[in-house]
């Protein structure tokens, strides 16, 4: 996402938890990126935008990418499924394509 010149907002996030697998942290980081994308396109970039946008989210954890893309049920709790479904719906309505690599 291109930063705004007049936007000095910093985004903070909480720790996932203590003593969790790195895969959980990677997965939640991807979800955080999706949430920021929705916020960006809804609140910050609603005017003068292209009809279709593409956001690239890069991760060095191929397993986390696979879990998000394929929605592997053994690796995702139900509330995470719901969050992903909501984000997918919101991004689809905004005509934002996500490339996760």
pLDDT averaged over consecutive 10-residue blocks of the chain (101 residues)? 53 65 87 90 72 90 88 73 91 92 87
pLDDT at 80: 84
Bridge-partner residues for 99, per DSSP? 56
pLDDT at 16: 60
CA–CA separation, 100 vs 62, rounded Å?
10
Give the start-to-end residue ranges of the domains of the chain.
22-100
Backbone angles phi, psi at 97, to 5 degrees: -95, 135
pLDDT at 99: 93
């Amino acid at each position: 996402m291109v930063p705004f010149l007049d936007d000095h907002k910093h985004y903070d996030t909480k720790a996932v938890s203590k003593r969790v697998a790195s895969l959980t942290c990677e997965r939640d980081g991807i979800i955080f990126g999706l949430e920021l994308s929705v916020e960006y396109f809804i609140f910050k970039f609603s005017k003068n935008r292209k009809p279709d946008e593409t956001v690239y989210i890069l991760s060095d954890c191929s397993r986390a990418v696979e879990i998000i893309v394929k929605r592997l049920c053994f690796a995702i709790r139900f509330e995470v499924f719901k969050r992903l479904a909501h984000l997918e719906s919101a991004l689809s309505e905004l005509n934002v394509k996500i490339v996760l690599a």
